[in-house]
A and B are shown apart, each in its own frame.
Chain A
């Protein structure tokens, strides 16, 4: 860190880097790597400690395999995590990282991303960390549209604390803390993110390396906050939670693969499709016929209105996971917080000159509480 000159940082993050529109390409300010990188470059010397068979290994391998593609200087990449099994992630990445406070990774990452725009900032969090204790931080990061990428590992259970129900567990989930079944209605993280004004929302699956990598690629390129929900198997406390989406036979009927610009079809030979219900305006799944084929919804991730993306996120049955869309739900351009903040700072300096923090702290609005004042 010491080698990174603060002068250089100021030049990059201070004046003249805004585009005027508030959107800057996600990674344009991040220095490139000098040499070609490989997956090995992103593996740290730490022994990976998750349970054998954990889905986290698959995500780690996919992320380590993807990072060389970005070609960024490793010392300008940061992984910030909260608390939970997935939050061990930064130890295993040969980048900068921070295993931070429970649920607060988005807050720390917000500060980092907005003050150091020459960094590629990633948040690794879980369904408990992001949606329970950190729920507030998550939604505010999303609405601010800070340039950070949030990987939300959703295993629908608290694994680190040995198997209590989480904010994404299905109703009736029997765990040690809910012996008669949980009563809580679960969050749908994609719906939540869309409702929180997220500009990029996607969902993928731990074991589908190709799909996961494709989603990471799109998230990395997105200017602003990207939320990627990753369905991740906890083989100890919630084994097989996503089997219906992974089993080749069942997945055909259960998984809807979203592709921008393509009609939303799935099932054997694409015999099922998503159409709009003319009466309610909602989306529904139908069997494709000659009559309805022309009405199949064409997926458009760039639609400004979040309504259709939200409707897509509601297609999945929370209990059976049938009709679960995976892929990018929404990817729109809107002003990025850190760019706008940099522009405000530029403007303030132009108007008022460079500030003096010490002078400000000891300025007019300070006073000393003395003996005389107390006895007055």
Chain B
């Protein structure tokens, strides 16, 4: 179980959630932020601070963004658990589903 970041984050990346996360598990991709599901401790600090309401508990993701439940998991398929976003640095590429999104204005 973990929180996930859905479509509204694409091209916005406000990063307020990164400041709130007590375990540094929110990683930055070129177009979207991603929560490492195994490093997330389910504390929910990120959810209320997102200005575009993009963060949901896994089970509560609205139907139109249900694909995003697996996006945050799949992006870490090769990376595993880097153990902290600030040390690991930004991700090289987005998940294909995110990369295929039309550009979204802030």
Contact = CB atoms under 8 A, between A and B. Distances in A.
Contacts of A235: 22, 45
A135 B24 CA distance: 34
B20 A53 contact: yes
Interface in A42-75: 43, 48, 50, 52-55, 57-58, 60-61
Contact of A233 (B22, B24, B48, B87): B22
Interface residues of A, number: 18
Contacts of A53: 20, 22, 43-45
A277 to B, nearest CB: 35
Nearest to A50: B43
Q: Which of A48, A53, A54, A206 has the most CB of B within 10 A?
A: A53
A210 B83 CA distance: 8
Contact of A207 (B20, B24, B47, B48): B24
A60 B41 contact: yes
Nearest to A247: B86
Nearest to B21: A53
Contacts of A58: 22-23, 41, 43
Interface in B8-26: 20, 22-24
Nearest to B45: A53
A57 B47 CA distance: 15
B77 to A, nearest CB: 18
Interface string A28-53: 00000000000000010000101011
B94 interface: no
Interface in B30-58: 39, 41-45, 47-48
Contacts of B24: 207
